[in-house]
Every structure is written in structure tokens, then in C-alpha cells.
Amino acid sequence: MRAKKFFLHRPRDLAEAIALKAEHGDAATFHAGGTELLVALKAHVLRYEHVIDIKQIPGLKGVRVKDDGAISIGSLTTHDSIANDPIVRASLPGYAELSENVANIRVRMAGTLGGVLCFAEPHADAPTMLCALDAWVVLAGPSGDRELPCRDFHLGEFATARGDDELLTAIEIAPQSAGTRSAYRAFGHTERPAVGVAAAWSTDNPQRLSLWAGAISACPTRLARAEEAAAALADDLSAEAVWKRLRPAVAADAEDIDAHDDLHGGADYKRHLVSVLAERALKACLP
């Protein structure tokens, strides 16, 4: 099917984009990479009279290190650009690896990080990893900028905490210590993950694990029991010993996830995948 006709706007800066959204209200939407939005428009799942193309707004693409050491990723940066960016590859190799394997080459070349976060389709890779990395988003609106942790950004399927009049401008990640390693492991029968698990393990004092499961439910889910169990472990255990002690906690966390049967698999199957993928992600973080 073809999308119904709409007016296409190409603002030159953030202020103009925000003003256009205010002018047209619910009849307008922002357009970034388009890999999700255009499909929905063509399928007549969504209908907008005005589409505001923000791809030419300066300052929304690329990766940079801020003065405080935080890594800032522009919301219009594509998955392919993130995968090959020298800053990301040096500081966040686990996230670079994730970006290398998003969907397919077309999506990686055109799809943007900001686009996938704002569309909030549950079966996505990036949100889970960003939660594990304690990342936050920067939103710009008529009242100025505000920051929000990624773990609070997704509210449900296709629902986020972004105000209707706001634009996501950047995703930021605090400097990673030398003792921190992160990894993401996913599995699915299609180009979308049925389940994905992200781990960030810090050997600093005190040692800390951040472990999240995604795609299995409407929003990324923290595996809190496993994180608490990890904090009590000795710091000289082998990867196999660590997993042996964390396996029961991960299984208990997985059992509590509100999973549903769908085309990606049965609920029990997906809960089982959480344990399988958590083991792989954790072992990738440990020496």
C-alpha cells in the first residue's frame, strides 16, 4: 500500500522544528531515519497530515566526548555510523558490536538511534543496552532541554516519556572506568530479537553488575535479583563460578517477567532464553 498524502516540512534548525510541531499538533510527527515510521504510514497503521523531516538539522549527528568525559551520540546518528565510530569502538566495544548486528544493512544504514528509541517498538536492541549502561536521553522542547534516564524513557509498547512537543536530540553515556566491560547477546527467528540481554560488569570497588532483558516485554526489564547477588560475590571468581552462583537469581528474575506468546515465541521459551543469553553476556564481560 501507499501512504496517504501528507505535507513534508524540512526545518533548518531545532527551533523551527519545534514551532512546526506546535503549529500542527497531533496532525504532525517528526521523521528521522524512517525505517519504522514509513512502514507504518504505508500500512495505514499511522496517519499524519504533516511530516517534519529533521534529518538536515545541524548538530544532531555524530559522536563526541563532552568536557566531563561523557559520550554524546546525536539522535540522528545511524546504527552503522555508531558501529564504526572510533570513540564508540574504543570506549564501548559492546555497544559497537550491537550496532553492527541491528536488523539488516538497510536498517543499519538509514535507521537512527533516536528514531528507534522514540518509536518504542519493544523488539529492539539498543534500549536494553542503553539501560545497562545507565545512559540518559536529552530532550528539547518549547520550555528548553531536559534529561531523562533511558530506564525511565520507555513507558510501554510504542509509548515513551517524550512530550509530544519535544525532540530527542542526544543519547549520553557516562565515562566508563577501566574496570567496566559490557556485552549484549540476543536471539530471534526474524531480524528483530525475540529476547536480548545486556550486561555491564564493573570490577571497581565495589564491584557492580547492571543486567537488563529486552524485547521479552513492553519495556526493558532490570534483573534485580541477579544484580544484588553479584554484589555479594568474591572478586576473584572465574566466569564459570560467577555464572553458577548467579544462575538461580537470573532464573527467578526471568520467571517474574510479564512475557506473552507471540510470533517471536512462547512466553516460557522466551523466559528460558533470558537465562541462556544472560550467561553468554556475563561471560563476555568476565576474564
Question: What pLDDT, on a 0 to 100 scale, did the predictor assign at position 204?
Answer: 86
- Mark the ranges of the chain whose per-residue pLDDT is less than 70: none
Question: What pLDDT, on a 0 to 100 scale, did the predictor assign at position 103?
Answer: 92
DSSP letter string, 35-81: TTHHHHHHTTSS--SEEEE-TT-TTSSSEEE-TTS-EEEETT-BHHH
Mention the CATH class of domain 180-285.
alpha beta
Amino acid found at 263: L
**Three-point CA angle 253, 259, 265, nearest 5°:** 120
Q: Give the span between the Cα atoms of 67 and 70, in whole angstroms.
A: 7
Q: Give the span between the Cα atoms of 222 and 230, in whole angstroms.
A: 14
Question: What pLDDT, on a 0 to 100 scale, did the predictor assign at position 155?
Answer: 97
Which residue reads 564481560 in cell numbers? 285
pTM: 0.94
Fold of 7-53: 3.30.43
User: 3-state DSSP call for residue 92?
Assistant: coil
Amino acid found at 118: C
Q: Give the span between the Cα atoms of 232 and 30, in whole angstroms.
A: 46
Q: Give the span between the Cα atoms of 194 and 123, in whole angstroms.
A: 7
Which pLDDT tens digit goes with each residue over 62-104? Answer: 999 999 999 999 999 999 999 999 999 999 999 999 999 999 9
Fold of 63-173: 3.30.465
Question: What pLDDT, on a 0 to 100 scale, did the predictor assign at position 45?
Answer: 87
Question: What pLDDT, on a 0 to 100 scale, did the predictor assign at position 38?
Answer: 83
Which pLDDT tens digit goes with each residue over 7-23? Answer: 999 999 999 999 999 99
- 63-173 has the same fold as 7-53: no
Domain edges within the chain: 7-53, 63-173, 180-285
> Radius of gyration over alpha carbons of the chain, in Å?
19
Q: Give the span between the Cα atoms of 8 and 49, in whole angstroms.
A: 9
CA distances from 149 to 100, 116, 158, 200, 207 (A): 24, 16, 17, 16, 22
- Residues forming beta bridges with residue 156, ordered by sequence position: 159
Question: What pLDDT, on a 0 to 100 scale, did the predictor assign at position 37?
Answer: 86
